[in-house]
Each structure stands twice: as C-alpha cells, then as structure tokens.
Amino acid sequence: MNVKKTALTAAMSAVIGFTATGASADVYTLSWDGLFTMINAGGTDALVNGDASANAYYGRRTNVGGTMSFDTATGAGTGDMVPFSFFGSGTATASGISFQAVGDGAGGAGPLVLGNLGFTWNGTVGIPTSIVLDGSGFFGAVGGGLTTSDTVAGVGALPATDGFLFNFGKSSYTLPIGAAPMATTTFNTTTIPGSDIGTNPSGTLPFSDDGIGGSPMVAGPFPGFNANFDITSIHVDNIDTGVIPVPAAVWLFGSGLLGLVGVARRRKKA
C-alpha cells in the first residue's frame, strides 16, 4: 500500500529527507520544558513577570513545562502545561492545547506547527492564544530515530525572541535561549472570525509575518500582545510504535482553514 505523506512526515522530509511512504506511524508521549515570553504589541519590550524575577531571565521570561503527544499519522498533537504564577494574581493555567503540523503553511513541505490554546488568569477564563512554531529540531530527531528516555535539546531553530533586546533602564540585553526543538516564529495566524474570550481554536491559516515573535492575542487582558512559548527540551516518555494510517490523512489549506478531508484511522500491526 502506498501511503501519502502527511503534514508531519512532509515536515520531516523537508528537514532531513525522511520518507514515510509505506512506513508505520508512531505516537510519541513527551515531557517538555520551555520558556514563556510576553512581548508588547509594538515589539519593543517584554512584560516582566515579577513572580519569576529571581530566575535566570529576571522575569523577562518565565520557566514553564508540561506534557504533550504527537501522532505521526495525522501530524496532530495535544498537550498540557503546569500552572505557573503570573504577575502576583494567582496561577495561569492553559486548557485545550492542540498542535498541528502544517508544512510551510502554504501547502508545501516545511517544519511549521500551528498551536492553539486557551488561558485562564486573574478571573478571565479562556484567553484565546495561537502560535506558530518551528518544529525542525523535534522532527529531525524523530526522523533520525528516537527511543524511550531520549531527550532532545539544543537543536532546531532559534526562537524569534532569541536576539530580542530587553530593556533594563538605560541598558538592554538579549537574554538568548539558543536552538530549541520547537521554537516560536514571527509568523502570525489568521484570527478565526468571531474569536473572543473562550474561543479555541482562535488562530488558523494563512500565516503572515510582522517580524515580532508570537501571534498578537485577540482578546482578554493583553490584546495585541504576543505570547511566545519556546519548547527548549523534550523528553521521550513513551513511543507507541507500529500504528498504520489507513487511509492517509489529506490536509487542505484553502480558505485559510485547516480541514481534514481524509479520515485517519489507526490499527495495530497484526
């Protein structure tokens, strides 16, 4: 049986020449660590999370972490995030975290991943947040062969804020992150019409690029601000191998909406 390349395998093909025709798919269960950075609407500075002021980034970035999964048959993933203290107003929590590999965002092969989630903070429930990540570091590791207990770190693209100048009074510093397996890009998602508090997903194709890391938030306490989530380390907790996509998933990019027109079922190898 010839299996067409899905968005995820196309992404890996673009990164390392990985070919998925006739190949089995895997479901990866992962733990991750990363950094959250909130850039202001003008792209001139970052908000300082006073609750994280003692970390290595002086609160300009906040350490975050959680779990996620990726299915190489569909290019889709889900995740969760450990609640973190934010601006002295209780914890920020994320819900409905989803990922989807989208190639180059225009129907071709590439390493981009579309993420959507809702945030709850300081009494506001479901702040719509979307993000476009470069997953080349993770996809390259998958194509090169991962086993349970492996860790992927220090590889991939540089996050969009890696060279960002954070203002410290009369001085400024970049506070770099380095190469990340999944790095936030400067691409912006297209807002789904009607998106407001509690809308998830809120961002979709096509993408644009304003040169500022993260997609502008459309509603809530931080409208226009750009939430950056950079996944700096990925640990493989489990790999469910030998899953066969039947039939292949086919993804459409027309009308700015990601639609599944082929149904991806999974069954174990006999």
Average pLDDT over residues 246-266: 28
Angle, CA 6 vertex, CA 12 and CA 74 arms, to 5°: 105
Query: Which string of b and e fits 183-211 if b means at least 16 CB within 10 Å?
Result: bbbbbbbbbbeebebebbbbbbbbbeeee
Q: Where are the domains of the chain?
A: 7-268
pLDDT above 90 (res 228): yes
Distance CA 102, CA 237 (A): 24
Average pLDDT over residues 94-123: 96
User: In whole angstroms, how far apart are CA 116 and each of 15, 164, 195, 246?
Assistant: 23, 24, 12, 26
Distance CA 203, CA 215 (A): 9
Average pLDDT over residues 154-173: 97
Distance CA 18, CA 90 (A): 45
Exposed, middle or buried, 100 (CB in 10 Å: 0-12/13-18/19+)? Answer: buried
Residue type, 92: A
Q: Which of 144-153, 187-196, 249-258 has the lowest mean pLDDT?
A: 249-258
Average pLDDT over residues 204-211: 98
- Give 11's pLDDT tier (boundaries 50, 70, 90): low
Q: What residues have CB less than 8 Å from 193, skipping those under 6 apart?
A: none
Bridge partners, residue 91, by sequence: 85
Distance CA 17, CA 194 (A): 40
Query: Which string of b and e fits 78-91 if b means at least 16 CB within 10 Å?
Result: ebbbeebebbeeee
Angle between helices 7-16 and 136-144 (to 10 degrees): 80
pLDDT at residue 25 in the model:
82
Q: What pairing do the DSSP bridges indicate for beta strands 187-191 and 183-184?
A: unpaired
